Amino acid sequence: MDDDIDYLEEQLNELVRLFDAQKQENRELKTRVAALQAENTRLAGKVEGAIRSVGAVLESLPEA
């Protein structure tokens, strides 16, 4: 009986350890996702600016 309880205690401790590790990984991934979303927004703004600049240059070219 004591062996069964010891085994269950070990299993429970392992489960808690894995749960804590997953929570930490989840926090890290959420932080990374937020950073990547911010970078994506910044780069999308740069692309839009480049599109406007190229459009302005094309508009200023004389027609052939």
DSSP single-letter state for residue 53: H
Say what the pLDDT of residue 37 is.
98
Say what the pLDDT of residue 48 is.
98
13 assigned to some structural domain: no
Say what the pLDDT of residue 61 is.
93
Residue range of the domain that includes 54: 28-59
From first to last of its 64 residues, what are the pLDDT tens digits of the chain? 899 999 999 999 999 999 999 999 999 999 999 999 999 999 999 999 999 999 999 999 998 7
Strands (E), the chain: none
Cα of first residue to Cα of last residue in the chain, in angstroms, is 93
Say what the pLDDT of residue 42 is.
98
11 assigned to some structural domain: no
In whole angstroms, give the CA distance from residue 4 to residue 15.
16
Q: How many domains does the chain have?
A: 1
Say what the pLDDT of residue 1 is.
86
Instruction: Output the CA–CA distances (angstroms, integers) from residue 46 to 14, 18, 34, 40, in the order listed.
Output: 48, 42, 19, 10
